[in-house]
Chains A and B, each alone.
Chain A
Amino acid sequence: MAIAHDTEAKELFWKSVDARAMQLPYCTTCSRFFFYPRPVCPNCWSGEVEFRPASGKGTIFTYSVVRSPHGNVTGWHQRIPYVVALIDLAEGVRMMANVIDCDVDAVRSGIPVKLTYIEIDDRVLPAFTLA
């Protein structure tokens, strides 16, 4: 199965998030997930890429608690302090996402998290809660 182009790869990902059933790109040639979505596998350059459901399991690789507004203004500024993290998914890929619905001071690297969703700036985003 092939994905037509970048736009389709991104759309397939964000549509799955919008449906609150996140899928991840998977290369059927080298049998590995990868992230972020694109039509050619970055590990083996195969175009045999499909989307498969994410297990929703992960751990925090590293994180930061944003405590002062800076950078381009977004809906997150209304939620300060918020946690932005790099999540190691059970599928073997790493993605950036927020850790939500928790005491920000309880967040630590290496702890397990599970997938949920949050709506910010009128779009659904993948997010994680402490497992």
Chain B
Amino acid sequence: MGRGGAIIGIGEIKVGKHPGRTAVEMQAEAIRLALADAGVERDQLDAVYGLASYVRPLQMHGMSLTEYLGIRPRFASNFDIGGTVAFMWMIADAVAAMQAGRFDVAVCVYGDNASTRRTGGEHGFTSQVEFGTEDFEDPFGSTLVSSYAMVSRRYLDLYQLDPVETFWPVALALRTHAMRNENAAYRKPITIDDYRSSPMVADPIRRLDSSPVVDGAGAFVIASERFVAAHKPRHEPVSMLGLNTKTTHKIPSQMPDLPELGLADAGPRAFAEAGIRHDDVDMLTVHDGFTSSILIALELLGFCAPGQAGRFVAEGGIDLGGKLPTNTNGGLISQGHVGGMLHVLEAVRQLRGEAGERQIKDCAVAVVAGNGGVWAMTGAMVLAKGMG
């Protein structure tokens, strides 16, 4: 029993700085790479699920992108849902359309020049559009980092944890993963002394707890069962077996306490739909804007008891060879923040067995999870080899 469609191609451009390039240009490159990987011709592409740059957003981005590529697909969109969750719903929407017979080949894409297109004088992530924080958060000198810092502080307070003992192992695990990924922006080994001397941006978040702003883009191709049967793609397809998401707020003052964040609700529903248990999961990718994000996600998804994720990570739980290798590409924190798109690609790569020196043995089931905004939109999806 198939699920409508599966991922048959991935494309990822160099993460780093691309001065002079636009987000549309980088997304177009990622699409070309993904189509080449899938063995799909440009004229076979029916649908483009795009997500516009957040730094310099384009309204109706999808049409700008397809026009730029010189293609005339049935569908083009700007799928702005939040963080990694956007890509989950792109897949859900595309396979539903395929099941209905509306089209056969879709590409999902995101890329941003968050590093080189910032306005002069700004540090960290900035955007040129309103974010909903203008009236009751921005006047107080609030930023995305200080908001996540309040989340990190709440995590430490809830379980009476030490910040260095809790967050350093996460930073170390991700950097160790990144050292095995040629397309990671930060690959230099780090020590606990580096961590302790890393500048405090917004207490308790240090620079080494943060996902660096980079330029980058990624894309993946989804094809219908009909297309896969007829064209025999060069790579084993990867299917989404389950998905669920939940939003609880937009701005940080409106968020529920950590144990009630949406992922606690969405995660179990995604697992149930996929018919999997925690023991079935071979690897995880989590939207890791900051180190606390991974710990909170591990607990909300039920992989660790409340307050215990730090110990799990310190004991090697998310390392290669650990119980649940997580963000094996280095994560947003050491690979660079490309919105979580590269987390989907890493899961596909691991499931295909093409992750090179960071390959997880016998990787059959992957979970992609995380949030957008400040834990505002949350979601989890289950990916597995085959047509589902």
Query: Which residues of A pack against B, CB within 8 Å?
Result: 10, 35-36, 61-77, 79, 82, 84-86, 94-98, 109-110, 120-121, 123, 125
* CB contact list, B118-153 vs A, under 8 A: 121-126, 135-147, 149-151, 153
23 A-B interface contacts by CB (under 8 A):
A35-B136, A62-B153, A64-B146, A64-B150, A66-B141, A66-B149, A67-B201, A67-B202, A68-B200, A68-B201, A70-B145, A70-B202, A73-B122, A74-B139, A74-B141, A94-B253, A94-B254, A96-B137, A98-B140, A109-B154, A110-B157, A120-B141, A125-B139
- CA A10 to CA B157, docked complex, whole Å: 33
Question: In angstroms, how far is the closest chain B Cβ from the Cβ of A80?
Answer: 9
> A68, B199: Cβ atoms under 8 Å?
yes
> A36, B136: Cβ atoms under 8 Å?
yes
> A84, B253: Cβ atoms under 8 Å?
no
Q: Is the interface of B mostly helix, strand, loop or mixed?
A: mixed
Query: Which residues of B pack against A, CB within 8 Å?
Result: 121-126, 135-147, 149-151, 153-154, 157, 199-205, 251-254
> B252, A96: Cβ atoms under 8 Å?
yes
Asked if A95 meets B253 with Cβ closer than 8 Å, knowing A67-B203, A71-B126, A73-B121, the reply is: yes
Question: In angstroms, how far is the closest chain B Cβ from the Cβ of A56?
Answer: 17
| CB-based closest 6 A-B pairs | A76-B141, A71-B143, A64-B149, A70-B124, A65-B203, A70-B123
- CA A96 to CA B374, docked complex, whole Å: 14
- CA A77 to CA B201, docked complex, whole Å: 12
Question: In angstroms, how far is the closest chain B Cβ from the Cβ of A47?
Answer: 20
> B253, A86: Cβ atoms under 8 Å?
yes
> A64, B140: Cβ atoms under 8 Å?
no
Provide the residues of chain A in CB contact with B135, threshold 8 Å. Answer: 10, 36
> B140, A96: Cβ atoms under 8 Å?
yes
Question: In angstroms, how far is the closest chain A Cβ from the Cβ of B196?
Answer: 15
> B154, A98: Cβ atoms under 8 Å?
no
The listed residue (B126, B141, B153, B254) touching A63 by CB distance below 8 A is B153
Provide the residues of chain A in CB contact with B204, threshold 8 Å. Answer: 64
> B136, A86: Cβ atoms under 8 Å?
no
Provide the residues of chain A in CB contact with B251, threshold 8 Å. Answer: 96
The listed residue (B157, B199, B253) touching A96 by CB distance below 8 A is B253
* Minimal Cβ-Cβ distance residue in A for B136: A36
- CA A94 to CA B144, docked complex, whole Å: 18
Provide the residues of chain B in CB contact with A125, threshold 8 Å. Answer: 139-140
* Minimal Cβ-Cβ distance residue in A for B144: A71
* Minimal Cβ-Cβ distance residue in B for A65: B203
- CA A23 to CA B264, docked complex, whole Å: 35
- CA A94 to CA B249, docked complex, whole Å: 13
Question: In angstroms, how far is the closest chain A Cβ from the Cβ of B125?
Answer: 7
* Minimal Cβ-Cβ distance residue in B for A67: B200
Provide the residues of chain B in CB contact with A70, threshold 8 Å. Answer: 122-124, 143, 145, 201-202
* Minimal Cβ-Cβ distance residue in A for B137: A96
